[in-house]
Structure 1
């Protein structure tokens, strides 16, 4: 399970993400303990309202790590409310991927936007980026379509000034990283960062 909590931005709501969302309609079932989110008759997550009154939350932003104690809190809360637990997929942890900027060109209708072709190893995404420090050849972090940002923002396909954009190249701040990684603009990774690898796994091993 992946958790997103931002008391100020999400009004004391804990987002619990069990699996990747699809384009199917999201159905909601409201319970006292949580709002259950479903697609195609499968649980994809929960929204726990007034979370600080029900859980001992000691983080802000995105919690990707396996935290047994917090997982037990969630399981106990849901089980006591007679809410089913989902089959949890590890795939969602791979929605933030290390990519290589293969091409960068000026947006034809904006001085501040660039059109980038970003290789994720076997998959190339076109992403429109507004960061002034984006350059061809950089290793960057890409939030793929369907990713949930630490603020609760869901990344969706978009059209920016008539140009398709399929994902987002992330800054350290957008990834909820420590201040030392929050330089202005996108987060530029070391040139040795392995393309196609999940960012948070790499970050934990190589950058902390």
Structure 2
């Protein structure tokens, strides 16, 4: 599992609420969908994106609760569990698939379903009968919207863009920003600095 990138956003529902993580005594947490007057302050979530062995994008959701960075995870239980990870563990891709979700087949643009990677037959859903608690369900229901979809368009489709396409776009944009004449048209005898210096010079 390779770490791709991360961004902060809001996770909203088809009923106009925002998903947040709340402390649940004595030492646990729960995901709930609530109405928020200031969602940017109370419901912000950090999305970490990874690329799996099939070059498909998966996501882990990190909620800040007090001093803790909490991730919802799917285990053998029928409930959503919670764990913490350090920044180093995340950046190194040391994330078990129980942390990961990906868009399901259900779609009701701009809303999508979120399928567990660890248990592909389970989806996150909002239980309206239990104080809007976010729980697990076996039905593929497009309940959620990641507000930064306009900036990360590959998440809008069920089949996410493969890593090769993302890398091609990144490489293309970098090539356009470099002036090749500064490094390519010089003799070897006069270029006595390292490749690292050359890259720095080109930038």
**TM-score, normalised relative to structure 2:** 0.29
Q: Which structure has the highest helix share of the two?
A: 2
**TM-score, normalised relative to structure 1:** 0.29
Q: Which structure has the highest strand share of the two?
A: 2
Structure of greater Rg: 2
